[in-house]
Every structure is written in structure tokens, then in C-alpha cells.
Structure 1
Amino acid sequence: MYPAPYPLHRPPQPAPGGNGLRKIPFALAECSVLDQNGSGENDYGDGATVAVDVAFVHKIEDVDVRPVSEWYRWVVQRDSPGTEPTVTKVGPSPGAYDFETYVYCPAPWDLYDHMHVVRQAHSLTISDRKYAADTDRFAPYVEEAAVDDIELWRSSGPEATETPTGFLTVLEPDLELYGKLYGSPSVEWEAGQSVPMPAFDAGFGSDEKDLEYGGARIKMDSSQSRFTAATRWQQDVEDISHHEFAHALVQPLEAEFSTGTESVRQWVVEGFAEWVALRFDTELASWRIENNVSGQGFDGKLPDWDSDATSASMGCTTSYLAFRFIAEKSGDAAALRFVTDHYRHPDQLDGQLREAVGMGASEFEAAWATYPRSHR
């Protein structure tokens, strides 16, 4: 880590989140001073102020495979020479990558004065304490989905992959607060999001750059009908959890930004997550195909859709059918090997499809095009 340029031997006030942090099973939790604005000195001896960018570096047991960080800006003031400096203001740092959306702040321990945490074997489910009763009701189904996804990877996934064995989920029904969580804006049709958390050593404070991402954080809009409906809410809570946990499961596999010229294909990202989710709810799978593909304009192309509700629904479902096509043709192990290889080397799609199903990309797309049509 970078040495602190300003001599803060200990945080002059409690660590970010205060007592709420004690509810989280951290394997690592420490602060690293990254930058400062101002010297912290004053020739006249009073009113000396410095703005300090501080990374809260942390690793949550089972959830993270590498330390990740949340970036704050502390405004530190010393009233007179020899007095203890105090923090007068804390907020998200504007300095991480020069974009406020990449500071992963606020986390739930910043938003909630009283954070409710349900800790289970494979999941941490978090909300504001005023929603504790609802969170306690949803948490067993969140845990069941976590167990399903982890067991699928354990039984059929490639060996020697660093994947999490637990997930952190924040349930937030207030859309304004939901949009603020982790500094990751949402779109209108979004029900949940897996927020990638870069490894703290990926270009900051270490030469170790073997993983771009150390983990992910899940946030879900718990105001939506999948949480509030009188019937089937249990299956719907599991469905969104299966989907978002699938994203989080493979996030540490994603290659560094500098690898190749291609990014991970959207149909692989969403197709994998939907394939994991819908394998546990075949009734819902049939409903989505009927509603999102049947009667829609299907051009036989692998989806690369825009962010609007109609195209997102169809894009997710046709992506699911692409991934299901791979799994039915070659098996679960081949499908999980394919997603692993593609996340690691997104510029090698043609060879990865040949390995998975014996067809290059163009041939695969042509063969798959008949598959959605046969399920319409």
C-alpha cells in the first residue's frame, strides 16, 4: 500500500460505518491513505485543513477472493499546533479513476444508521433495520439460491477457479437509496444488480495484478412485485438471487481491462445468469420464452441489446436459450468451462465455442438460430 502522506497514526474518528461494521465477517478491514489535497500546515497555527482520500480496504469472509476497497474523502482539520486532528466531513472520494461512480461508496454501512444483517452459511442479507421483518422473511430464500449456485459450480465447474463461496446482498425498497448503493446507477427496468468490485491490488499499491476483480456486491430493488406479491414471491426471490449470484460467482474470473481488444459478450454474461436461474424454475423458463420470444421479431442473431425494457427482456431470454443450447449439446461441465474460458479470454470466442460445441462462432450462431424458433 502507499504510505500515508499525512501522519494519521489512527483514524481520528470511528472507521467508516461505525458499529455497523461489527456485523460483517471481515477477514481484513483497514484504511489506506491514498492522496491528499493541502499540506495540513498553517503558518499561523490554527485552521489547518487537509482533504485526504482514504481507501477502506476490506475482504469479507467467503464473499471476496481478494481485498476490495471503498473510497472516501475525509476533510481533516487541526485547530491549533499540537492538537489532535479531527475529521469534520466524510463523503465519497471524487478521485478514484477520476469518476465518482468508481468509488463504490456508499455501502450499506454508510447509508443505514442501524443496519440489519442476516448472516447464514452462504449469504449475508442486509437492509435498514426498519425493514428487518421483511428481510428475515426473504433471507432463507436468498440463502437457498446461494447454496444452489455454489453447488452447481462445485459439482460441474472447472477445477482451480477462484470463485466465492458466499454472497452479500442488500435489499432496498427506496429507489433513490437503491440507485446510490455502491455508486452504481441503475436503469428503469432493473430489478437487481451485481456490482463488480475491483481487487485493491489491481494497479493500486501492489505489483500483484493477477485478478482484476476481488468480488461483487448484490443490490436488489425489494419494492418490486417479486418481493411484494401475495403468491410465488418465494420462487421470485430465489430467481433473482440465482441470477445475480451467478454474475457474482464468475466475476473474479474476468480478465484485466488490458487483455485483448474484446470484452465479455453480453449474451454470455446474461445467458449464463439466466441459465443458472431458470434451471431451478422450469415453469418460469417456459413463461419467459412464451412472453419474451414468441411473436417477437427474432432475427437469428446472438443478442447485443440496448438498455430498454422490451429489448432487455427478449435479449435476456434469447441469451438464455443460447446458453441452454450449449448445455444441452455438451453438458453442464462444458457450459461452465465455456463461461470460465470466455471471462478469462474474451477475445478467443471462436476457439472457445469450438471447444464447447464443435463449432466456430458463425457456425454456432447459424445452428443456434433454429433453437429459439423451435421454442416460440
Structure 2
Amino acid sequence: MTEGPPSVPPPGHPGPYAPSPAGPHAHPAPAGPYGTPTPYGPPPYPPPGAYAPPPSPGRRSRRGLWIGLGAAVLALALALCAGSLVVLKSYLDARNAASAAALDDKYSPIRQEKIEALLAAHTRALTERGEKAFVAPFDPTKKGLVAEQTSLYRNLSRLPLADVRFKYLTKSDFRPVGGGHEVDVTVAFVHRFDGFDLGPVEEWYRWTIVQTDKDAPLKVTRAGGFPEERKRDAITHYPAPWDKWRSIHVERTPHTLLIVDSSLRAAAQRYAPIAEQAAVADLAAWQAGGVSAPAPSGFVISLVKGRTELGSLYRTTKETPTESGVAIPVPPEGVLNSDEKGPVVGATRVVIDVRDAYHFTRGTRERQLNLFRHEIGHALVGNLTARAPGSHLLGEKETWVVEGFAEYLGHGRKPWLTSERTADSRAVIREIGQPYSLPGNLTWDQEDRVGYHYWLGHSAIGYLVERYGEQKMFQLVAEHYRSRKIGEVTQDVLGVSYEEFEKAWLAYLKAEVR
């Protein structure tokens, strides 16, 4: 038998796995398919066996133990801390809520959400035709107040209203009363006359709301207009016909809505055809004028008995008015929050005194038609009214433009010299001579000259129509209502300065009236 190699080769002799000897007689290893193979060397790991011998245990470090214990303690601490934070947060939230509630009780004892809910319920009562619910918020011990609100509900129910709602605007400081509080709230009655108004408008009420304690229901103890004016002439938009009269009568035509006290029912039926004729004529004139601006499709008109009543509908007057009719602008919804480019007139309400001697008790149908056309003429262009550029204030309009235009429409677009004012105005010219200019706003109401000034304004509009054409006249009026200064308008629309226009008008007037 052949003896195997010793387990450890003698020095100088290669072992069984040693590389082939190098030298001139050595044979190179055959090239494999991927090039010369790497020489075998000692394997990087121990020779295989059933189980590799375990590593020497040596001395074990306790660092991991302490790290593990520290992590466990930290986790426990964090868990306890998190629980404490939750408890602390809940405690602070409760304290904050209590503080907020205390502040609310102190500075807002009547909650805003309760006021809003009351107004929403009031709106539903009107739109859903619930008289009992409409009157419910008002203090039942105030018999007069309840009667007024009952009449208001019944009057509003007779009107063709759309977009109706009662909306919160502002409130005063709270006042303690008994064991509770009261506050004055400004309420906007938002509404639109369907088929007449271009958009919703506002009428402002002032309600006094009382809450006897924080859990008690709200009660309204007073309701009136806002702002309240007693010592000067002011347009307050209150009282409207539905506020002023205990019972109203409504007479409707295709283009007019007459709202009158029930005692004037016969008068409304008598004058409604004249009002309709006037509205149709003015709307036709507007369409012929070619102005690119929307106009109302109809007009809301009230008839009153006497000058005192004329001065107390939609406004207050310190002295008894002298006019026979008036056109009163009412604000659009949201006017208090709009910017300088927002609209300032939402609609115009016409009021006519049917006891006026010149037009009615001793007047003719033609005079009545002239009056309706005149006031509807104001309402026709009222929505164009704008603020002065860069301002919240209304732009100032020349009165001769405003009233001259209304006179032109009131006179049925006929030549201005056929006006009934002509005879008296000729007498004024014979007395004081020819005018040197158009009447200014400051002198317009000069005693014994108002009718004459209306006539001069009418003559200027007549001159515009004769010299430049009716469409140019309408364009000039519309642009001036939009708050453009009269000098800018004459230059842009007519191509002449205001001084040149006025000089030409004076020459025209002198030639026509000798």
C-alpha cells in the first residue's frame, strides 16, 4: 500500500495544496475562458466542519446592560410624562374654556350666535308666511310694539318681494338691565321688488334686544328706524310705506307698483294708468338714448295725502316740503362694506302728493303725466350714481343736469319752450336780464327763482338735443351721474370744454328768448 503524505510537510517541501513551483520548467496554468485564474491561497474562513469551534468567551462588558436599563427607565418616564401632559392639557383647556366663557359673559353677555339665530328665524317666519312666529320675538307686554309688527307682517305679505332676509349689521355696547342685559342692534331688511328692482336693497332698523339672564330667550323691546333724525332734513329710508301705514293697498301695472295707504285705494286705481303711461314713455326714451347701462324694468311709487306726509316717507324733514313729488334713492345690499367702486344706489322710490293743487286737485291729466314722468326720470338713472373717484363720498352732480334731464322727460321730450314754466321765466328775464351762466348748486334754491332755474336747466338739455342729438344728451347725463366732472364730460362727449358749451348755450338762449 502506498503511504500517505505526512500531516505537516517537511521544511522546503511543498504541501499538497501549495502552488505549482515557478521556474523555467514550470507550465503555466491553462487560461480559462475568463483569463488566467487567480492562484489558490489559504481560504478566508476555517475549514468546513460539522460545527465550528465557539469563540473564546473572554470578559463580557456591562455597557449594554446599563443602556438597556436606561432605555427602559426613559420609556417608562416618557409614558408617565405623556400621561401627565394629557392630564395637564385637559386641565388647561378646561381653564381656557372657562376663562373664555367668563370673558364672553362679561363682554358679550348676549351671544352673537343667538342674535343671528333670532334674525334667521324672523326671516323664515316672513318667507314661510308665519305671522305668529314673526311676532314672537317682540315683547308681548309691549302691546303697541306687537301691534306695529303685526301690521308690518301683513303689509309685507302683500308685496311682491324676493331675496328677503333680516341681516345683522352692528350693535351697541351692552347695558345691564335687571338681572340681564340689553343691546341695540342695527338690522338690515334686505329685499328686492320682483320685476322692478335691479338688485336687493336695504332698509335699516334699530332693535333693542333684551336677555333677562344667560339662559333666557331674546326679546325685542323696541323697534324703529336707523338712523334716527329729528332736527334736520335727512334721507333715512325709514319709514317705508309698509312701516308707516297700518294697512296698505297695492296696485300693480306692467311697469309700476303703487303702494298706498288703504284709504287711498281709489286714488291708486285712478292714477295707476297715468303712472304706467309715464313709465312706458321714459323707458322708451332710455332705450332710444342708446346708453349702455341697465335700467329698472319698473318703478315703485307711493301716493300720499299732503306735504307733511310727503316729507315723512323714507325720510325726515325739518320743515314742510314745497315740492309736489320726490324720488328717493335707497342703498343696495352691502353698501356699508363696499369699496369706493361699489354701487351706492340700489333703487329709487317715487313719492307723489295727490293733494297738490297744481297737478291734482286743480290740475289736468297732462300735468299729472308730466309729474310722473319727471320723478320716474330721476328713478330711471338713479342706479348710475357713483362715488367720487378715490372716495367713499358721492360725486357732486350739477343740479341743472339732474333737474333739466327730468324736466325734459317730464315734458314728454317736446321742445322746451312749450313748457308751462316759459311764461314766468320770460318775465324773470325781462326783470333781471339774461343769465350770465347756468345756475349753480349753491344758488339753485334761491327764493322765487326755483321754477326759473328748472326752466334754465331744461333749456340747456334742449340745446344739447338740438345741437348734438338726443343720444349725446343721454350719454352726457349718464357719464355725469357716474361721478365724472361736468367739464370732463363735455370734453369727452361733446368735444368742447365746459366754458365753450356754456357760452354757446347762452348765445342760443338769447336768440330763442328775446
Equivalence for 2:509: 372
> 2:435 maps to which residue?
299
Offset at residue 139 of structure 1 (A): 1.1
Q: For 1:304-323, what aligned pairs fall within 5 Å after superposition?
A: 304=440, 305-308=443-446, 310-323=448-461
User: How much does 1:80 deviate?
Assistant: 5.3
Kept after mapping to 1: 8 A contact 2:472/2:493: yes
Higher Cα Rg: structure 1 or 2?
Answer: 2
Hey, what does 1:10 align to over in structure 2?
A: 121
Q: Which residue of 1 aligns with 2:369?
A: 238
Is the CA contact (8 Å cut-off) linking 2:325 and 2:350 kept in structure 1? yes
How far apart, in 2, do the equivalents of 1:138 and 1:22 lie?
Answer: 23
Q: Relative to structure 1, is the Cα distance of residues 177 and 295 closer, same or farther in structure 2, using a 3 angstrom cutoff?
A: closer
| Corresponding residue to 1:163 among 286, 289, 295 | 295
In structure 2, what is the Cα distance between the partners aligned to 1:308 and 1:5? 53
- Structure 1 residue 173, shift from structure 2 partner: 1.2
- The farther-off stretch of 212-221 and 171-180 is 171-180
SS at match of 1:256: coil
Question: Corresponding residue for 2:201?
Answer: 68
Distance 1:265 1:373 in 2: 22
- Cα shift readout 1:278-333 (whole Å, capped 9, x = no counterpart): 13566993321122244433323111233245221011110000001001112111
Q: Which sections of structure 2, spanning at least 5 residues, go unmatched?
A: 1-111, 123-136, 139-148
CA distance 1:90–1:361, change in 2 (3 Å): same
Give the equivalent residue in structure 2 for 1:183. 315
Contact 1:5 1:36 in 2 (8 A): no
Whole-angstrom distance in 2 between the partners of 1:117 and 1:327: 38
Is it true that 1:249 corresponds to 2:380 in the alignment?
yes
> Which of structures 1 and 2 has the larger relative contact order (alpha carbons within 8 angstroms, sep 6+)?
1
| Inter-partner Cα distance in structure 2 for 1:264 and 1:71 | 26
Distance 1:351 1:16 in 2: 50
Q: Deviations over 1:219-271 (max 9, x none)?
A: 11221024433551x21221111111111111111221455796111111111
Distance 1:131 1:43, change over 3 A: closer
8 Å CA contact 2:360, 2:368 repeated in 1: no
The AA in structure 2 aligned to 1:303 is P
How many Å separate the matches in 1 of 2:263 and 2:400? 38
Look up the equivalent residue of 2:299 and give its one-letter code.
F
Q: In 2, Cα distance between the equivalents of 1:144 and 1:309?
A: 33
Is the deviation greater in 291-300 or in 133-142? 291-300
- 2: CA distance between counterparts of 1:15 and 1:200? 25
Q: Are residues 1:31 and 2:197 paired?
A: no
Q: 1:41 to 1:221 in 2, by over 3 A?
A: same
RMSD over aligned CA atoms reads 2.9
What's the CA shift string for 1:104-123, capped at 9, x where partnerless? 10000001111111111111
CA distance in 2, matches of 1:15, 1:257: 42
Query: Helix, strand or coil for the counterpart of 2:375?
Result: helix
The CA deviation at 1:209 is 4.4
Structure 1 residues 259, 303: CA separation in 2 closer, same or farther (over 3 Å shift)?
farther
1:212-223 equivalent positions in 2, closer than 5 A: 212-223=344-355
Match of 2:223 among 83, 87, 90: 90
C-alpha distance in 2, partners of 1:309/1:64? Answer: 36
Residue number in structure 1 paired with 2:155 = 20
The answer to whether residue 239 in structure 2 is matched with residue 106 in structure 1 is yes
Q: Determine the C-alpha separation between the residues in 2 that align with 1:102 and 1:239.
A: 25
- 2:38 — aligned with what? none
Q: Distance in 2 between matches of 1:251 and 1:176?
A: 24
- More strand by proportion, 1 or 2? 1
| CA 1:374–1:5: 2 relative to 1, 3 Å | farther
TM-score of the superposition, structure 2-length normalised? 0.65
Equivalent in the alignment of 1:329: 467
Contact preservation (8 Å) 2:388, 2:483: no
Distance change >3 Å, CA 4–CA 118, structure 1 → 2: farther
Residue 340 of structure 1 corresponds to: 478
Closer, same or farther: CA 187–278 of 1 in aligned 2, 3 Å: farther
Separation in structure 1 between the aligned mates of residue 171 and residue 342 of structure 2, nearest angstrom: 28
Does 2:282 match 1:127? Answer: no
The percent identity for this pair of structures is 28
CA distance in 1, matches of 2:300, 2:445: 25
Higher mean alpha-carbon deviation, 57-66 vs 137-146, is at: 57-66
Task: Give the equivalent residue in structure 2 for 1:142.
Answer: 275
Q: How many residues align structurally?
A: 366
**Alpha carbons of 1:37 and 1:122: their partners in 2 closer, same or farther (altered >3 Å)?**
same
Contact 1:118 1:124 (C-alpha < 8 Å) held by counterparts = yes
User: Contact between 2:408 and 2:414, CA under 8 Å: does it hold in 1?
Assistant: no
Aligned AA (1:25)? P
1:40 Cα offset (Å) = 7.8
